[in-house]
Amino acid sequence: MNLDRFSQSYETPVIETVDDINNCGCGKQAEWLVYEDKQPHCSECFREATECGEMVEVQYLCA
């Protein structure tokens, strides 16, 4: 039995924990990631954040 073959078949899965990123503070699914705060925001909270403060660099989360 060739164990080396099996050992090579193992690949370290690179899975980042993105549960917190996918959820807004209000509990809804986050669609926007605000880099300044590094906090996820849903569409509603994101609009409020941008209206209240300066426009910061954001990333749209394609879920």
Least CB distance to Zn ion at residue 57 (A): 19
Show the site string, 6-25: x = touches Zn ion by CB under 5 A, - = not. Answer: ------------------x-
Q: Please state, as a whole number, how many other Cβ atoms lie within 10 Å of the Cβ of residue 46.
A: 20
Query: E strands within 1-63?
Result: 32-34, 39-41, 58-60
**Is residue 49 a contact point for Zn ion (CB under 5 A)?**
no
Q: Which of 31, 33, 34, 42 binds Zn ion (CB under 5 A)?
A: 42
Structure tokens at 59: 């990333």
Q: Give phi and psi for 58, each to the nearest 5.
A: -130, 165
Q: Which residues bind Zn ion (CB under 5 A)?
A: 24, 26, 28, 42, 45
